[in-house]
Amino acid sequence: MSNNTYNSDVIRILEGLEAVRVRPGMYIGSTGPRGLHHILWEIVDNAIDEAANGYADKIEVVLHKDGSVSVEDNGRGIPIDTHKEAGVSALQVVFTQLHAGGKFDNKNYSFSSGLHGVGAAVTNALSEWLKVEVYKGTIYQMEFHSYYNEEKKKIMSGEPVGPMKNTRKKTDKQGTYVRFKPDARVFETVTFSQDTISKRLRELAFLNRGLTIKFTDLRDDEKFYSKTYKYDGGLVDYVLYLDEGKNKLYDLPVYAKAEKDGIAVEFAIQHTDGYTESIFSFVNNIPTPEGGTHEVGFKSAVTRILNDFAKSNNLVKDKDVALQGEDFREGMTAIVSVKMKNVEFDGQTKTKLGNPEAKSAVESATIEELDRLIKNKKNKQIFEAMIKKALGAAKARNAARHAKEIARAKSGADSAKLIGKLAACSSRKAELNEVFIVEGDSAGGSAKQGRDRQHQAILPLRGKPLNVEKKKLEDVLNNDEFRMIITAIGTGIGNDFNINNLNYHKVIILSDADQDGAHIRAILLTFFFRYMKQLIQEGHVYIGMPPLYKVYKKDVTVYAYDDNELQKAIEQVGRGYQIQRYKGLGEMNPEQLWDTTMDPKKRMLMQVTIEDATEAEKLITTLMGDDLEGRKSYIAEHADFNKEDSFMDRVKAKEE
């Protein structure tokens, strides 16, 4: 296919640009931070598609001081000739028509990241202004803006300031440059997150081997930030990045790339001495945290080929426990990336691949490639290490099964213990019920007295639970605190997990706002991530946010949840105020705990989500694993050691 085939003829219009501003949630999910970044990803994805289809090798993203963001690639450049149906430039069509683009007939792109073809137009519609330049020998420019029309009494979204113009300025560059400023009339915040953007761009660089992505943040002169991501090892580098700080069973990941039935399959595998599996899958650069047919095919192939290898090399003895798929995946870190046409997703979240042809293609390609690698004598020790690890996992699985049987036998006793420990709610409708996992008996007592007894259950913890990141499943099942949590929630864990048995649709972690409380939260979130991940994926896990301060005088009381709110609370209460800083939940009486932290009408809850599963994996490994140096480095980079505690100064000032 030549560049000449990429012209206005390939830009198909399916419907006009309407109602995006009226109902932005239909197009970008929300008007919060996630939606804000979504309109950036739409432009980034267009650039990535150029690179992934072989037309570009450089992308640059810049956050500017005026709140705008720009994305530039060195691809073919958006077509600038006149569109036959629309009668205007194809460039204008792309930015003003929904479902207009060159990705609907598979002629110009083998595959694309965008799911709906609404990208550039939606970004334009939800921006205060947008400017685009196309480099094709000379520079072509076009500008759009969203303004209030006095005559029509409404905001006109993404309207062209004028027609596309050829500046006649010659350029050696090629590609497209898009710069836009999100509209504050639409979004709750228009401040982009440096951390969110850098993580996604790094992920895209890993998934597209050899692609250079530069990210620069110009917003703060004192904290200038610029990072370039380029990974010539691609998925191999990705796995090594995730396994940094872990004890690896072999130095370099096993890697293969193949194509089956028009589907490109790429994977990298490495085993560590850990006890959980970490498989991350992607389709056309889109994360699929819920897996799907491609992941099923991959797992099936790994189980089959490694079982065959173990038997043919007499690595499995008759007395050994029969090996299962989960045994081969214990301690495995794997990235599976497929690229295909006509992607179909299951469910509302669009995070699970549904194409049945992907299963057979990935399974076939994985079997053939692993078989080829196994036949290379240089790799024999690697695959023997995999089998040895699997045999150990099988023994541990057998021990865990025994522990589960004991746990089930104890379930009556656990339930009896729960009667004394868990303050259950009276409602039997799980979708209306919530359970607070509370730090300490003192806070648990206040929570039990102050709760809504119909829909709120309370489960107090005694001390810090076990850090499951360093323990086998058998150890987790033998831990009293976790067994209580498992029994109370009702879903089971690991392979026995069943979301349909969930007793409470809100599982709320409620701990003190101090270091110990944060550590307990981290331990519990690690447990949920490792053994009840679906609970997080489906939005059932929350963190309760108790206030840090109480500002009061006579009959006026205002609670503040951080230092910024404290100042507002002081101003609201006025002269003669008193301040109390809460050191723990146990300092609150039942009424205060209800008013501040448990009352659904007033409380603040933080829903736990997995925006990026690979980054969550990396962070949990860093913070909860054995890599002391990695943990020190992370804390040194992210902790604010210069933050001063001004509470006592405020108290002294008040006393004076």
User: Among 42, 128, 290, 439, which one carries the catalytic annotation?
Assistant: 439
**512 is a catalytic site residue:** yes
**439 is a catalytic site residue:** yes
Report the C-alpha gap between 234 and 247 in whole angstroms. Answer: 21
Give the pLDDT of residue 410.
52
**How is 172-215 classified by DSSP, letter by letter?**
EEEEEEEEEEE-TTT-S-----HHHHHHHHHHHHHHSTT-EEEE
Report the C-alpha gap between 479 and 465 in whole angstroms. Answer: 8
Give the pLDDT of residue 11.
59
pLDDT per 10-residue tile (average), the chain, 656 residues: 63 56 84 93 92 92 97 94 86 83 55 60 94 96 92 87 94 96 95 94 96 96 92 97 92 96 96 92 91 96 95 83 90 95 76 93 97 95 95 85 60 52 92 93 88 95 82 84 91 88 95 83 91 91 91 89 86 89 85 92 88 78 76 68 56 51
CA 95 to chain centroid: 28
Give the pLDDT of residue 185.
93
Are the beta carbons of 526 and 469 closer than 8 angstroms?
A: yes
Report the C-alpha gap between 3 and 137 in whole angstroms. Answer: 14
**626 is a catalytic site residue:** no
Give the pLDDT of residue 15.
43
Domains of the chain as residue ranges with CATH: 3-229 (3.30.565.10), 235-395 (3.30.230.10), 422-546+605-625 (3.40.50.670), 549-581+627-656 (no CATH)
User: Among 514, 563, 611, 615, which one carries the catalytic annotation?
Assistant: 514
Give the pLDDT of residue 16.
44
User: Among 516, 565, 587, 626, which one carries the catalytic annotation?
Assistant: 516
Give the pLDDT of residue 1.
45
User: Among 512, 595, 612, 617, which one carries the catalytic annotation?
Assistant: 512
**357 is a catalytic site residue:** no
Report the C-alpha gap between 554 and 573 in whole angstroms. Answer: 10
